A = this chain, B = another copy of it.
Amino acid sequence: MSVTYPQGFRAAGVTAGFKDSGRSDLALVVNDGPSHAAACVFTSNRCKANPVLWSEQVIADGEVSAIILNSGGANCYTGAEGFALTHATAEAVADGLDISAGDVLVCSTGLIGPLFSRDKMMAAVPQAIAALSDQGGSPAAEAIMTTDTVRKEAVVERDGWSIGAMAKGAGMLAPALATMLVVITTDADLTAEQLDAALRKATSKSFDRLDSDGCQSTNDTVALLASGASGISPTEAEFTDALTEICTELAIALMGDAEGASHDLYITATNAASEQDAVEVCRAVARSNLFKTAVYGNDPNWGRVLAAAGTTNATFEPLTLDVAINGIWVCRDGVLAADPETIDMSPRGCDVTINLKAGDASATVWSNDLTHDYVHENSAYST
Mark A residues whose CB is within 8 Å of B.
Answer: 44-48, 74, 76-79, 111-114, 171-172, 213-218, 287-290, 293-294, 296-299, 301-304, 306-312, 318-319, 321, 331, 333-336, 340, 370-372, 374-376, 378-383
Contact = CB atoms under 8 A, between A and B. Distances in A.
B375 A216 contact: no
B112 A289 contact: no
B77 A336 contact: yes
Given A299-B381, A299-B382, A382-B301, A307 B216 contact: yes
B112 A297 contact: no
B378 A290 contact: yes
A206 to B, nearest CB: 20
Nearest to A212: B289
Contacts of A47: 306-307, 309-310, 318, 321
Given A297-B381, A372-B376, 17 more contacts: A46-B310, A47-B307, A77-B319, A77-B336, A111-B303, A112-B304, A112-B307, A113-B340, A215-B288, A215-B290, A216-B310, A218-B306, A290-B378, A297-B378, A297-B383, A298-B383, A372-B372
A310 B78 contact: no
A380 B336 contact: no
A216 to B, nearest CB: 5
Given A47-B307, A310-B47, A214 B299 contact: no
B381 A303 contact: no
